[in-house]
Amino acid sequence: MSANVPADKKEAARQAAALRDKLNYHSHRYYVLDAPEIADAEFDALMRRLQAIEASYPELVAPDSPTQRVGGAPAEGFGRVAHPTPLFSLANALSFDELQAFDARVKSGLGTDKVEYVVELKIDGLAVNLVYEDGKLVRAATRGDGQYGEDVTANVRTIRAVPLVLHGDYPRSIEVRGEIYLPRREFERINKSREAAEEPLFANPRNAAAGSLRQLDSRVTAERALDIFVYGVGVREGAELATHAGTLAYLASLGFKTNPHYRVFATIEEVAAYCESWADKRADLAYDIDGLVIKVNSLADQAALGFTAKDPRWAIAFKFPAEQAVTVVEDIIVSVGRTGVLTPTAILKPVRLAGSTVSRATLHNEDSIRDKDVRIGDTVVVHKAGEIIPEVVAVLAERRTGAEREFALPAECPECGSAVVRQPGEAAHKCTNPFCPAILREGLFHFVSRDAMDIDGLGPAVITSLLAAGLVKDAADLYSLTKEQVLPLERIGEKSAQNLIEAIDKSRQAGLARLLFALGIRFVGVKAAGILARRFGDIDRIAAATAEELTAIEEIGPKIAGSVVTWFAVPANLALIDKFRRAGVKLTEERVETAGPRPFAGKTFVLTGTLTALTRSEATARIEALGGKVAGSVSKKTDYVVAGEEAGSKLDKARALNVAVLDEAAFGELLSSAPDVV
């Protein structure tokens, strides 16, 4: 009996019940709400403890135990669909000994001492099941509880790596399994955008992928660069496959994206060496992995081994050790963001973590510090949230010496000395000085970022140098810079100075949508900026708009409207806009709604397939400028479906509902018959 298993059966039953409750709670937070409260390593430790108790006391195993369950229940808001074949989770191995035990079980089950294995990277994302009929994608669903998942077909269709029509010699019907994920770079971009709009940040790329895939509006999903690797098949008709490696090659031939790092090995020792080799290499990938998956290569052997109640006997996941480290909080400093929010950061005794040396970790806000009781001098456990952001997980209070010091956010801004306030109902403390140098500096970082004015060469170091030299006092000053002014700056050469001035000049034509986002108006993210720019057409119309006019626009709520009205009511902000105007910065958008007739008013359009004459965004803008609305799915309320090349299920649904279908030529005629949009 394990040392962690109580010798008394009554106590074991009590602990098992408590563990089941805790695991069910955290499983719900993770799978249903996409809002986990604990790290994977902590969840795995709880699960292994319950497994140990149930292994020692089999009579305590309950049908509803988390150890007997696959995944979590589907969340409300999407249709519930049954998977053609169940989607099983995998058992975990955390050591070479456990891999050897798996190998022994496989060989015993097959009655042989020679087994070939395929090893693949375990992508840290969201499992999805794709069903194709006659070569066309007809349904996509999340794993859910393994038997039933959520219908996310409309959202999966927006992922470019998912083929809508299969290539080559495809079967009549095939069920394909894959993992949808968010590349690290896109995760960082989305979080920067959410921070600019003062929305909660995603904790890691996996949760960002889950949140993106489970948007009720598929247009939001389309704005995020989700990706996918497929790794297996379920039901198939007309495809004869012999090995898992052959299956991966076959899937690639059909047009699917498969991960290139899979390998075939003849021994479990080779498997273990390959797994170990990825412990450090994974940091070089553009996406997150949380281990590797080992599968018996022969599909006939897989069928012979079969399944337990919860996982396949022919596969196992080798998980990397928890990416955590113990260090000391040497100090806590405070930085001021572009909205004036004060953010505490722990200065750590440098420690090696996830392939890099970590010397700082976010503490989020004062409430978080108090909840975790973090003090200067504390010994703490840190990890990298989503393999990226260092974060304090817990305090090792038993190591305190009495010399530790409690921390509180300052009453005065550390940058300018102005008063700091905390608004009722908010966790953030803010500097009250709108001209705080930190707000200017961080605001400039945002202004030049990729989703804003996208000025290459204007990184934090250059901006800091410009401010120190007194060359820039606001964002509009960037447009009066000359090559001669920037040449003396540190690390600026002749060519880089010329490129910088050219990049700044090019950004003058970025357009109203980018400028609105770049201004950093509270709650106005990339999407809201685009809606406002297309609807009003120039910045003066937006400045003159009332809250009532703004909230009359679909997707512009009271918070955004109130923030926009407040921003344009500040004389200094209007002066900044005038300064942009004098600098030649474009304050209009190409597609502007006229004040005249709105022939598409009350009409709902759905776009499907590939359009050639106009891009999808251009077609959307033309429809909206004429008073129409573009929806993501077809219903009885849809007036027109515009079908381009390779139109899929939306076209089929339109025909079934007798919705009017326009090809590109007919759509072009409809647009040309409407009043001009200037």
Active site residues: 122
- Which tokens is 498 given? 């010329």
Q: How far is the C-alpha of 638 from the C-alpha of 629, rounded, in Å?
A: 10
- Which tokens is 244 given? 């898992």
Q: How far is the C-alpha of 433 from the C-alpha of 486, rounded, in Å?
A: 29
Q: What ranges in 350-455 are assigned the alpha helix state H?
A: 366-372, 437-447
Q: How far is the C-alpha of 127 from the C-alpha of 142, rounded, in Å?
A: 6
Other Cβ atoms within 10 Å of 31 Cβ, number: 20
- Which tokens is 312 given? 């396949």
Q: How far is the C-alpha of 144 from the C-alpha of 74, rounded, in Å?
A: 5
- Which tokens is 588 given? 């209009």
DSSP three-state, residue 603: coil
Bridge-based pairing state of the strands 227-237 and 173-181: antiparallel
Other Cβ atoms within 10 Å of 308 Cβ, number: 11
- Which tokens is 326 given? 């113990």
Q: How far is the C-alpha of 249 from the C-alpha of 413, rounded, in Å?
A: 59
Other Cβ atoms within 10 Å of 482 Cβ, number: 10
Percentages of the chain per state (helix, strand, coil), in multiples of 5: 40, 20, 40
Query: CA torsion 236→237→241→243, rounded to 10°?
Result: 20
Burial class (CB in 10 A: 0-12, 13-18, 19+), 191: buried
Task: From 271, 273, 259, 317, select the one nearest 293 (Cα to Cα).
Answer: 317
Contact 501, 492 (CB under 8 A): no
Other Cβ atoms within 10 Å of 508 Cβ, number: 15
Q: CA 468 → CA 95, 459, 471, distances in Å?
A: 53, 14, 8
Give, for 172, the enclosing helix (H) or strand (E): none
User: What strands lie across the sheet with 629-631, from one edge to the other?
Assistant: 629-631, 604-608, 640-643, 660-662
- Which tokens is 591 given? 């597609």
Q: How far is the C-alpha of 523 from the C-alpha of 526, rounded, in Å?
A: 10
Contact 72, 144 (CB under 8 A): yes
Q: How far is the C-alpha of 125 from the C-alpha of 183, rounded, in Å?
A: 10
Give, for 477, the enclosing helix (H) or strand (E): none
Bridge partners, residue 315, by sequence: 295
DSSP letter for 114, please.
-
